[in-house]
Amino acid sequence: MSHELLSPDMSIALDAPQNSAIVSEWLLGTSALLMQHQGETETAELIADVTALEVRLWNTQFDQEGYRVVLVVEPRLYPRYDEAALKRIEKAMDMVLAPSGKDIDEIAVRPEIPHLAAGWRDQLRGRRSSGPKPSNHARRVRDLPNHPVEDDLHFTNEWEYRVYQVLREKQAALPDNETIGIMPLCRVRVLGSTREPDFLITYKGRAGVIEVDGPHHEGPKRASNDHSRTDLLINAGVEWVARLDVRDTTEKAEVEKFVSNFLARLTRR
């Protein structure tokens, strides 16, 4: 049995006492579902990841109500809500509100403020000194400013992010019962060391690795290390390791061809 959410009374202001308790979840939900139905899945996911809305009547003229909306998001997700993302979310919410003579005059985003506990200074100092350090590469990437983030996944640089976009498109194009798993920056323990492949890919019961190489992979010593890492991964059961040199793949079509060849090789008997 489904439970339909209450809808606000659209004959009065959205921030009126009768509406204030329900308008946040209603506007988020209807906007996200509208974007999903229109195929705008990335915008739908951004809206779904918003914790809450702060809605305030901002302007009234010509029988129109204009609102200021503030998206409240988890601090770790805050970098995802750039100007372009906010414009897409605003457009979605305007479509939901338009039939009732309401629209969004201004939209902003702020991180959710953490709850303050007694002894917060000791807690902060403990994390800086004796507490656990971010040993996972993906965790370290999360601490870097302005790194690419999508689908709550973090990437070291723009090259890795572009490869992920192609992998996600390939994932969406495959049948549901034989799609691929995409795991960026996961840690893998192999014999004698811990490795951090750029992408671990699962497909049809097999696992493969994609390494995205940039200029930092030049030189005979680095090439030798790369070969050693490849051998360790294959000896540990990884079916195939492929390296993509970003200097040789300036066009998206070249990355798409690389990904198609990688998946074909991964499942070759």
pLDDT value of position 245: 86
> Which CATH class name applies to 17-111?
alpha beta
What is the block-wise mean pLDDT of the chain (269 residues), using blocks of 10 residues?
Answer: 71 89 90 92 91 87 83 90 93 93 92 75 59 47 65 85 93 91 89 85 93 62 58 89 83 91 87
CATH architecture assignment, domain 137-266: 3-Layer(aba) Sandwich (3.40)
For 111, how many CA atoms within 13 A lie in the half-sphere containing its CB? 10
In this prediction, residue 134 carries a pLDDT of 42
Output the 3-class SS for the chain.
CCCCCCCCCCCCCCCCHHHHCCHHHHHHHHHHHHHHHCCCHHHHHHHHCCCEEEEEEEEEECCEEEEEEEEEECHHHHHHCCHHHHHHHHHHHHHHHHHHCEEEEEEEEEECCCCCCCCHHHHHHHHHCCCCCCCCHHHHHHCCCCCCEECCEECCCHHHHHHHHHHHHHHHHCCHHHCEEEEECCCEEECCEEECCCEEEEECCEEEEEEEECHHHCCHHHHHHHHHHHHHHHHCCCCEEEEEEHHHCCCHHHHHHHHHHHHHHHCCC
Closest CA to 157 of 144, 139, 170, 171: 144
Which residue ranges does the chain devote to CATH 3.30.70?
A: 17-111
pTM for the structure as a whole: 0.47
| pLDDT of 60 | 77
Stretch(es) of the chain classified as CATH 3.40.1350.10: 137-266
The reported pLDDT for the residue numbered 191 is 82
| Interaxial angle between packed helices 23-37 and 41-48, expressed in degrees from 0 to 180 and rounded to the nearest 10 | 160
| AA letter at 182 | I
| pLDDT number for residue 140 | 53
